[in-house]
Amino acid sequence: MDRSFLKDKKRIVVKIGTSTITHEGTGSLNLEKLERLVRVLTDIRNQDKEIVVVSSGAIGAGRKALGIKERPKTLSVKQACAAVGQARLMMIYQKLFAEYNQVIAQILITKRIMLNEISLANAKNTFQELLKLGVIPIVNENDPISTDQIQEENFGDNDTLSANVAELVQADLLILLSDIDGLYSDDPRKNENARFISYVENIDDKLEAMAKGADTAFGTGGMTTKIAAAKLAGEAGVDMVIANGDDITNIRKILNGEEIGTLFRA
């Protein structure tokens, strides 16, 4: 399918999964990839496009800072790691974006904000003003006080949150960067005959069942949560692409209309 229409997308939400910005073996932040990510995003912003980032990685960053080697299991330890990690993650983003004179903002969201009419309107106004001022907002769920994402695995490593944010800011496109090239008919790590699906027009029961088969154990978001995000985004009129975050330049390639990842039409 011709994807040249993606070149015209102006307001883009980019979701950065944990696996995209951490080292697989240690779970520590991958600073080289973060640097490349920041450079690519700033360059897109320099093309007069608007960028909103939904970033995972706070719990991992906090875990490293606190010297906790195992992935935390109890809710209170996860929340403590998130509290330390959010500050650490934003400090790194701030430092890297400042090298390119790009102003960023931090927005912490809870599920309650999305459900409360007044809070939702306030959040929408804040986003609109920041984007008007040329700022790149960096969004995360407020994990230290909210348990939705870190307690319920199916909330999905910010997948659902990114779709909610895309709807909130009335984005033109949502890009989910993951540890997989896109949607497959089965898990390609286990089944070499798994078929890659480049384009999805409608999400039906068959597709959702296929996604369950292709779930991965990385981060907290498997393919099921990504399909759920695609449904949410599609209903809000937002096109969505799932692509591999291993190559950060995939963001630029997608916006150039190249056939990267799986495209879900709104």
Sequence-distant (≥ 6) Cβ neighbours of residue 53 within 8 angstroms: 13, 14, 15, 16, 41, 136, 137, 138, 139
- pLDDT confidence band for 148 (50 / 70 / 90): low
Kindly report, residue by residue over 32-90, the tens digit of the pLDDT.
Answer: 999 999 999 999 999 999 999 999 888 888 888 899 888 788 888 988 988 999 999 99
In degrees, rounded to 5, the angle at the alpha carbon of residue 219 between the alpha carbons of residues 216 and 223 is: 40
Q: Give exposure, 32-45, as e/b (b: 16+ Cβ within 10 Å).
A: ebbebbbbbbbebb
- pLDDT of the residue at 238: 97
Looking at residue 52, its pLDDT comes to 98
pLDDT at res. 11: 98
pLDDT tens, 195-208?
Answer: 899 999 988 888 87
Is pLDDT of 146 > 80?
no
What type of residue is 220?
Answer: T
- Residue 17 pLDDT > 80, yes or no? yes
Count of structural domains within the chain: 1
Q: What is residue 25's predicted lDDT score, i.e. its pLDDT?
A: 79
**Integer Cα distance of 158 and 77 in angstroms:** 19
pLDDT at 156 over 90: no
**Per-residue pLDDT, 224:** 83
Q: Report the CATH number that the domain containing residue 68 is assigned in CATH.
A: 3.40.1160.10
Structural domain harbouring 235? 4-264
- Residue 81 carries which DSSP code? H
Residue 255 in this model has a pLDDT that exceeds 70: yes
pLDDT mean across residues, the chain = 87
Q: pTM to 2 decimals?
A: 0.90
Which tokens hold the place of 30?
């991958």
pLDDT(249) > 80: yes
Tally DSSP H helices, then E strands, for the chain: 11, 10
> Is residue 169 packed enough to be buried (19+ CB in 10 Å), middle (13-18) or exposed (0-12)?
buried
Of 176, 160, 166, nearest in space to 137 by CA: 166
Reported as a single tens digit per residue, the pLDDT across 235-244 is 999 999 999 9
